[in-house]
Amino acid sequence: MPAKRETTQDQPGEVVEIFCDGACSGNPGPGGYGAILRCQGRTKEISGGETPTTNNRMELTAAIEALRQLTRPCRVILTTDSQYLVKGMTEWITGWQRKGWQNSKKEPVVNRDLWETLLGLAQRHSIEWRWVRGHNGHSENERCDTLAREAIGTRG
């Protein structure tokens, strides 16, 4: 069952579908991300990467870069194969903030910089966070994986 945050019906703007994925060759190693944005019959693909990085950083970066494409508040359905991303935004982040960005082991939250950036971008929108099983035939997830892996190839 996909995790989701309640959406508000009065949220301004169009409904935008975002599909995103991150990948890494080695962990850490060169990494890439890919995302597809779909709204009102139009589709846009984005990708990029960095090195060195981790798979989790690329998963977060994919969502960040996709949300950066939105120029006004929207209702968003964001689909990813990253439980780290979905659970982070729907279950863990409130506790991290309450505990001064410490996790349940009282250690600093890994990738705090990206979580804070993502949180800031997400607050502009009404987002439903959906998880899908990766490498399981979901066409947009497979395409995002291809974009992410191609971006790694350009980082070599």
> Per residue in 58-94, is it b (16+ CB within 10 Å) or e — as a string?
bbbbbbbbbbeebeeebbbbbbbbbebbbebbbeebe
Residue whose entry in the numeric block shows the structure tokens 């979580």:
115
Which of 21, 31, 49, 140 is flagged as catalytic?
A: 21
10 marked as part of a ligand binding site: no
Please state, in angstroms and as integers, the Cα–Cα distance from residue 135 to each residue in 5, 22, 72, 78, 151, following that order: 24, 13, 32, 17, 18
> Is 21 a catalytic site residue?
yes
Phi, psi of 48 (to 5 degrees): 175, -170
> Is 125 a catalytic site residue?
no
> Is 29 a catalytic site residue?
no
Which of 31, 32, 48, 59 is flagged as catalytic?
A: 59
59 marked as part of a ligand binding site: yes
Which of 34, 81, 88, 140 is flagged as catalytic?
A: 81
Which of 10, 41, 107, 135 is flagged as catalytic?
A: 135
> Is 41 a catalytic site residue?
no
> Is 22 a catalytic site residue?
yes
Residue whose entry in the numeric block shows the structure tokens 């209702």:
75
113 marked as part of a ligand binding site: no
> Is 138 a catalytic site residue?
no
Catalytic residue positions, numbered = 21-22, 59, 81, 135, 145
Q: Which residues are annotated as a binding site for Mg(2+)?
A: 21, 59, 81, 145
